[in-house]
Amino acid sequence: MALHLSWVSVFGDLGVIVSFMVAFSPLPAFYQIYKKKTSEGFQSLPYVISLFSAMLWIYYALLKKNEMHLIVINIFCCFIQSFYIVTYFYYGRKKEKLEAVKLMLLFNVFGSGLIFFSTYFLHNPKTRLCILGYICLGFSASTYAAPLAIVRKVIKTKSVEFMPFTLSVFLTIQAVMWFFYGLLKKDINIAGPNILGFIFGILQMILYAIYKNHPKKMVVEDPKLQLSDQLESVVSSDLNTTAPQPKDKDYNNGGGGGGDVEAQNIKKNALDASQKV
């Protein structure tokens, strides 16, 4: 019995440590927002969803009791996701701020409130915990479908530049730690969703091995969409990296052909000079 509890504690501690590292992964993206003083090209949805998920798991852990590992990591997630949302809101345009407020009201106010009041006043504590556990399981399982967007991009472009290998490894390790934690505690609500996390993590690493040495394929695509796709791929966890933004001012303002016109003018001037000689 003591050995069983020690292994539960080991996997719980490792799960918390790895989850801390994953939670910090979007910091480079938000440093870019700070430098550019704009959140253009980013979306608030992944961070609102992550905050909502953390709130659900805290509620579940408090009802179940003796779930200090879940409480610690999800309180930290609430803090860090709130920081991301505030940063996004501060540097966002009016339209983006309005969208972020709508999402917060929908998920973090109305959604969490509805779940709380529909379960807290149930007379049977076991029924309450069971229903809430199924809600957490279903929600966490659905968020693990997010990496499919980046997997599709990798297969389409045959390039892994938008799928950082290190992040894929840490997400896989995180899923393994929490799976064994839930398994040892005989809690399918914790263990179940992480099976999907492990499968998608292994899939990403296999794709990385296949395409890591493949020549880069240029794909004409809005750079804002590239950046947005990356951020959405870490909703269950979040996380994320950023795609390079074009530096040409004319391109950013919608004048993507400015470079071609300039090249043609240089070529024409050189031709005229040769004819004069």
pLDDT, tens digit (0-9, with 9 covering 90-100), for 115-168: 998 888 888 888 888 999 989 888 887 777 666 767 888 888 888 776 778 878
- Other beta carbons within 10 angstroms of residue 273's beta carbon come to 9
More confident residue, 256 or 131: 131
pLDDT, residue 230, reads 43
Under DSSP, is residue 53 helix (H, G, I), strand (E, B) or coil? helix
**Cα separation of 41 and 33, whole Å?**
10
Tokens (6 digits) for 259: 């470079």
**Cα separation of 50 and 275, whole Å?**
65
How many residues are listed for the chain in this entry?
Answer: 277
Looking at the predicted structure, is the pLDDT value of residue 218 above 60?
no
Percent of the chain with pLDDT over 70: 72
Cα–Cα–Cα angle for 162, 166, 167, rounded to 5 degrees: 65
pLDDT, residue 20, reads 92
Tokens (6 digits) for 275: 């004819």
Mean pLDDT of 70-83: 94
Are 211 and 158 in contact, with CB atoms under 8 Å apart?
yes
- The least confident of 79-88, 124-133, 158-167, 232-241 is 232-241
**Cα separation of 65 and 272, whole Å?**
82
Which range is most confident: 32-36, 183-187, 239-243? Answer: 183-187
Under DSSP, is residue 221 helix (H, G, I), strand (E, B) or coil? coil
CA-closest candidate to residue 54, choices 139, 127, 171: 139
**Cα separation of 240 and 22, whole Å?**
9
pLDDT, residue 55, reads 93
